[in-house]
């Protein structure tokens, strides 16, 4: 009996060892294939000044994706492919960009027959991006070119730091400066995210990585390729979350103004010449529903309107001076503020700590 058990265990061990070896070979081939499509992106802002990051090829005719902040205000963009025998660089042009999602579409300035055959597929199906899935990051962290790190998806529905419109993946694959714009791939070799930033609180050495989610990337690339821009709707209102503490503060600052319990979002800073005022919204209005759907927080409103076209009207239910009021509100185009972007990048460069703030404007 013991002999049969020993034989069975040995057979299982040999079978498992064979499967593991096959999977390891497949895993190594996947990394090698993906690495060939990843590039170093060096952007020159002015003579002698610039920065670098990562990018990756998404088509056989030389289109690349990277983070917009990597190539922001650049005059010359150069890229290097993984080729130790031929380490020359190529120039690239910025075709279009989506600064809201921190994405830029580049095109290589070379003949198609000089390009590598390898490019990466974008996974735009959100159902195939699940918490717990294994992920691989390839990039040039801290100047260590073509570094591969591995981890898992920790959360698949995080808001981006500076935009309530963009969803990101939180993951555990170690990334750092230089990884920006690089691919986060799954075990099928598909891009499920673009590594964009890392949270490194003071006093800690292990960061938490964030990547622009694949479905956001897919829609953005599709729009940039077709129209040269990614158009998003906006309400043009500054909103604040309502909580026990914010209600107390708002009541103290605005005596006589009624604020309901901790549901809904409150509009602030609405001026008479603003889009919001012309649409019928006033400061201190509390939005509690949109087209009959409850609004308990800013994410409820944004998740609803972000899929609607510019120019469409939505019906807002607001509480104004303790009375429910209906407001028909037309969505406007979300505009990009270049000066704000410059200021934001400057603040990021001068800080060691990058906390994730609560989004407040829509």
| Catalytic residue (choose from 34, 74, 180, 234) | 180
102 a catalytic residue: yes
| Catalytic residue (choose from 34, 36, 69, 72) | 69
Tokens of 27: 């895993």
| Catalytic residue (choose from 102, 215, 285, 300) | 102
180 a catalytic residue: yes
Query: How far is it between the farthest Cα atoms of the chain?
Result: 89
268 a catalytic residue: no
SS3 209: strand
For residue 336, with 0-12 CB atoms within 10 Å meaning exposed, 13-18 middle and 19 or more buried, which class applies? middle
User: 26: which residues sit within 8 A by CB, 6+ positions away?
Assistant: none
Alpha carbons 275 and 36: distance in angstroms, whole number: 48
Alpha carbons 38 and 200: distance in angstroms, whole number: 25
Q: What angle do CA 56, 61, 62 make, to 5 degrees?
A: 35
Query: How distant, in Å, are the alpha carbons of 87, 140, 177, 328 from that of 82?
Result: 7, 11, 19, 54
Q: Which of 128, 130, 92 is nearest to 109 (CA)?
A: 92
Alpha carbons 303 and 314: distance in angstroms, whole number: 13
SS3 47: coil
User: 141: which residues sit within 8 A by CB, 6+ positions away?
Assistant: 147, 149, 174, 175, 176, 177, 178, 179
Q: Which of 185, 101, 107 is nearest to 148 (CA)?
A: 185
Alpha carbons 69 and 66: distance in angstroms, whole number: 9
Catalytic residue numbers, as ranges: 69, 102, 180
């Amino acid at each position: 009996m013991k002999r049969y058990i020993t034989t069975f265990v040995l057979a299982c061990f040999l079978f498992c060892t064979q499967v593991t070896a096959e999977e390891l070979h497949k895993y190594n081939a996947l990394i090698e294939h993906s690495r060939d499509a990843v590039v170093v992106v060096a952007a020159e802002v002015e003579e002698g000044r610039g920065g670098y990051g990562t990018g990756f090829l998404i088509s056989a005719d030389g289109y690349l994706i990277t983070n917009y902040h990597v190539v922001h205000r650049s005059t010359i963009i150069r890229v290097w492919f993984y080729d130790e025998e031929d380490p020359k660089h190529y120039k690239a042009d910025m075709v279009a960009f989506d600064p809201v999602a921190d994405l830029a579409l580049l095109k290589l300035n070379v003949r198609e027959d000089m390009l590598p055959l390898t490019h990466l597929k974008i996974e735009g199906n959100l159902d195939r991006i699940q918490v717990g899935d294994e992920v691989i990051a390839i990039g040039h962290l801290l100047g260590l070119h073509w570094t591969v790190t591995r981890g898992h998806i920790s959360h698949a529905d995080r808001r981006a730091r500076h935009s309530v419109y963009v969803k990101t993946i939180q993951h555990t694959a170690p990334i750092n400066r230089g990884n920006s714009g690089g691919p986060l791939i799954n075990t099928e070799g598909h891009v499920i995210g673009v590594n964009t930033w890392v949270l490194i609180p003071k006093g800690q050495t292990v960061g938490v990585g964030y990547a622009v989610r694949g479905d956001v990337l897919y829609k953005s690339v599709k729009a940039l390729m077709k129209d040269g821009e990614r158009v998003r709707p906006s309400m043009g209102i500054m909103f604040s979350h309502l909580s026990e503490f914010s209600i107390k503060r708002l009541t103290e600052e605005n005596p006589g103004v009624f604020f309901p319990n901790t549901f809904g979002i409150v509009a602030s800073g609405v001026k008479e010449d603003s889009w919001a005022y012309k649409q019928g919204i006033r400061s201190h209005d509390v939005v509690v529903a949109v087209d009959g759907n409850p609004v308990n927080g800013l994410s409820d409103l944004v998740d609803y309107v972000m899929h609607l076209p510019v120019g469409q009207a939505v019906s807002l239910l607001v509480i104004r001076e303790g009375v429910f009021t209906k407001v028909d509100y037309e969505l406007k185009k979300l505009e990009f503020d270049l000066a704000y972007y410059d200021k934001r990048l400057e603040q990021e460069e001068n800080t060691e700590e990058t906390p994730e703030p609560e989004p407040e404007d829509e």
